[in-house]
Structure 1
């Protein structure tokens, strides 16, 4: 990211890693260079353990990392925390310092004090042979604050029910991450650069434009 110019992280396998082990390192976002520190922070501002499993927002700091933006006398607390840059990326940090990003903080679903990766759910859904596209967003829930809503585009001629897709997901993610709300749509709205326009999906849900089925 620009705020970490000229170098953010390097994805290079440790010495001695070969085969599948080496590729497991290469597909991560790598490690920050010497002089730069990285940490993962949970939804309540607590530092999460570097165990490769605990999920939180990636924060970084270093001699060439931005500490505030032009025109700011005081760093924006939404962007900085105690001298750390809040990247807006969500992921994990391994014990040997490798970063794996799984979502954007604005798109992660905060449910009952836990974070659910919308991208993980989307990728799992799009592995189903009947699914062409899937966009998952967080929507308000009285009990859990937010819960996932799965909007699905089926392949031409394919059929699937919310129950079938939920069963498919249950073999790939934890039960508490499974969406209860489902909507089949003709196409996922896209931004000007071709990314899923999750803001528009949330707006469609809020205005009642989606035909939502609840299961589970």
Structure 2
């Protein structure tokens, strides 16, 4: 009844076993190509239904889970989902780098697995998910482990996006590196200026 297409990839490299990783912009390019194919063959392009959600709105479909989250947000009971969610939001607002983020989460009773492995050439291999685990002291359920992106299924917030979080800290690192470089560059230019000023007309240093 609804003719459509799929783009299929092998998610594991058969030569080295590495997991396929893609960013949102790549996914959007594939989706655009799928739409082009649909137009080319005269098929309807289905537009996703969008709902404007408020930040912090509870989005879980389970009535039982919804009630538990709402009670926890009001401070009436404990919930691992809320513990993790609030820790991520607060850490995102306060952290100046990835180490800060990890430390703040730890103080809130949450451990983070960034899903990153440093390869021999110094490059970083990313797993698809960032995983968060509530420690024994703070947990209330038997399954206190969550994928960052899965939190969006319970509470709507822009902080629960693996790709954006990784990019955020990459940008902070770049900014920090630039700030560290600028004073050195200014100092070198100043030294060069002074050195030029200290020469006479024949090029001899005074």
TM-score (structure 1 length as normaliser):
0.24
TM-score (structure 2 length as normaliser):
0.25
Higher RCO structure (Cα 8 Å, ≥6 apart): 2
Look at both structures and tell me which one has the larger radius of gyration over its CA atoms. 2
Structure with the higher fraction of residues in strand conformation? 1
Structure with the higher fraction of residues in helix conformation? 2
